[in-house]
Structure 1
Amino acid sequence: MLHEDADLVAIAKPPGLLVHPSALDAQEERSALKLLRDQRGERLWPLHRLDKATSGVLVFARHPQAASEFGRAFEEGRVSKRYLALVRGWPPERGAIEQSLARDPEQPSQGQERIVALTRFERLACFEWPFQADARHATSRYALVAAEPVTGRRHQIRRHFKHIAHPLVGDTTHGKGAHNRAVAQWLGASRLWLHCEWMELPGRPRIVAPPGPEWAALLANVPRA
Structure 2
Amino acid sequence: NLSDGSCLLVSSFGDPLRQGDKFGILLNLTQSEMKVYFFLNDKPLGLAFHLQAPYPKPLFPIVGFTYSGKATITRSQQIPTSLDRQAAQFTDIEGHWKLVDYPQHSDCTGFKFHLFKQEANTFSLSTSVINHLSCKLQYDPSTNKWHHQDAISTMMGGDSESMRKEGIINHLIAHIQTIEPQGQKLVITSTDGDKVVLERYTPDAPQAHTKNVFSNED
Tell me, yes or no, whether TM beats 0.5: no
Mark the structure with the bigger radius of gyration.
2
> Greater relative contact order (Cα 8 A, min sep 6): structure 1 or 2?
1
Q: Normalising to structure 1: TM-score of the pair?
A: 0.23
Query: Which structure has the highest helix share of the two?
Result: 1
